[in-house]
Amino acid sequence: MAENIKRPTGTEDVIPRDIHKWHTVEKIARETAESFGFGELRFPTFENTDLFMRSVGETTDVVQKEMYTVMAKETKFTLRPEGTAGAIRAMLQNGLLNEAFPQRIFYLISCFRHERPQAGRLREFHQFGVEMAGSASPAADAELISLGKKILDRLELKNIVLKINSIGCPKCRAEYNKALRSYFSAREDELCDTCKERLVKNPMRLLDCKSPICQEIGKDAPLILDHLCEECSDHFEKVKKYLTAMGIEYTVDPKIVRGLDYYTKTVFEFVTTEIGAQGTVCGGGRYDGLIQQLGGQPTPALGFGMGIERLLLVMDKQNCDYLVPKKCDIYFATMGDAALDKAMELCRELREYGYFADHDFMGRGLKAQMKYANKIGSAFTVVLGDDELANNKARLKDMDSGEEKEITLDDKFTGNFDSYYIDKMLSSLDTGADDLAFLPLTGEDN
């Protein structure tokens, strides 16, 4: 017997009974972004490797340890480890940055990093991201943060803390790097091999090292906030002022540097302590130099990414509500070939109106069909046999209440079923049930 092939380590399957959770996050994120003026962008899963080398940074963990790269003939391609670089490349290549500013896009994508799998950290993970290009105003920073908070609030997440920092511009970062080199050089022999290289090329990356030894050494390192130039300091003060004006609570955390080299000035994270070490559910910031670095004109920009798997971990932990999964609206239990023919005809008609209609495919007996209808949670059932076909009438049964009503099998069937179905949904609303998000289309809407 052949051995079963299993999914790769660090990946997950999403089966039908769980997909409504993903749909909840995606729907709320998409709708909220659109209400802030963002439009959806779709771009390739893989890019030329140079794109990530130039943007993410050669000294980052992502580039040094985590990227999935393949050689296709003489070209290196990499599965995207994050969304911003590919999104900016797409905006440049398609002329979006030649249009009116600000340009605002969002995306729902899968990303790939070769990391040690654990809760909230997978090798293939999914991300909702937004990017805004064209505005250097600190009001744009606050606007983007407020968008992230709005999504989290609509998902009804609790105990999420906003942490913000500024990591300055190239001017003040040069002075800060000098201070870091001076601090870490005193204990260079204790640093991991990667950080010894970073000490020369990019000292700020030492603050992002995952090694416990390097983290311990770095806990008293100089703070970037003490080295900001006047412009960056003023920008950060205004970001804080705007957040306060919008009623958004935050904590200044000078240890936040983010893990990618393209960030400048404002960086931020929404963090929870409820899912272990991987508690950042949303992170982002400003990257004013990236567009020019990728071949465009100097253009300020900023963005953030939300890990969908991490959001779902928190939502499950906090028992948040999800959209109600679609269930069968009406099931036809049939006896005989003629009844099956009629059931197929009625299902086709009902599906044209947006209903989830079903019938037997397994040759079950009537009792087994009714058990199946109950198992799949069908709202209504209809039994069709010779008598029903001869009289052109059948009994429509409400599976929750057990109430039955006579319904004709002629061309008025769908219209009559509409009224019964909507009455049922409205009565369920009266008892505190969920909204009518999944009501079928009516004939007029179709």
Q: What is the pLDDT of residues 419-437, one digit of tens each?
A: 888 887 776 655 444 443 4
**Any domain includes 263:** yes
- Encode pLDDT of 39-58 as tens digits: 999 999 999 999 998 888 77
Q: Which of the pair, 105 or 254, is modelled with greater confidence? A: 105
Specify whether 147 is located in the same domain as 122: yes
Specify whether 306 is located in the same domain as 355: no
Point out the domain boundary residue: 317, 346, 381. 317
| Counted domains in the chain | 2
Give the pairing of strands 280-286 and 301-307: antiparallel
Specify whether 155 is located in the same domain as 282: yes
What's the pLDDT score for residue 428?
64
Specify whether 38 is located in the same domain as 162: yes
Q: What is the mean pLDDT of the chain?
A: 91
**Any domain includes 157:** yes
Mean pLDDT of 275-298: 92
Task: Tell which residue, 380, 371, 384, 375, has the closest CA to residue 343.
Answer: 384
Specify whether 273 is located in the same domain as 350: no
Specify whether 236 is located in the same domain as 114: yes
- Encode pLDDT of 316-366 as tens digits: 999 999 998 889 999 999 999 999 999 999 999 999 999 999 999 999 999
CB 155 within 8 A of CB 28: yes
The string of DSSP codes covering 373-420 is HHHTT-SEEEEE-HHHHHHTEEEEEETTT--EEEEE-STTHHHHHHHH
Specify whether 104 is located in the same domain as 81: yes
**Any domain includes 402:** yes
**Any domain includes 237:** yes
d(CA 49, CA 46): 9
Neighbouring residues of 228: CB distance < 8 A, sequence distance ≥ 6: 166, 168, 172, 236
Mean pLDDT of 141-155: 98
State the CATH number of the domain containing residue 363. 3.40.50.800
**Any domain includes 274:** yes
**Any domain includes 78:** yes
**Any domain includes 176:** no
CA–CA distances in Å: residue 161 to residues 2, 101, 164, 271, 406: 50, 31, 10, 5, 56
Residue type at 264 in one-letter notation: T
What's the pLDDT score for residue 365?
97
Task: Quote the domain boundaries for residue 363.
Answer: 330-427
**Any domain includes 189:** no
Specify whether 160 is located in the same domain as 138: yes
Length of the chain: 446
Mean pLDDT of 259-271: 89
pLDDT surpassing 70 at residue 259 = no
Specify whether 313 is located in the same domain as 363: no
CA–CA distances in Å: residue 378 to residues 340, 354, 358: 18, 15, 9
State the CATH number of the domain containing residue 37. 3.30.930.10
Specify whether 255 is located in the same domain as 338: no
Helix (H, G, I), strand (E, B) or coil at 57: coil
CB 391 within 8 A of CB 349: no
Specify whether 96 is located in the same domain as 40: yes
Residue type at 90 in one-letter notation: A
Q: Which tokens go with 112?
A: 């790939």
What's the pLDDT score for residue 177?
87
- Interior/surface letters 375-393, b for 16+ CB within 10 angstroms, e for the rest: eeebbbbbbbbeebbeeee
pLDDT surpassing 90 at residue 402 = yes
What's the pLDDT score for residue 206?
84
Specify whether 268 is located in the same domain as 157: yes
Neighbouring residues of 328: CB distance < 8 A, sequence distance ≥ 6: 356, 357, 358, 373, 376, 377, 378, 379
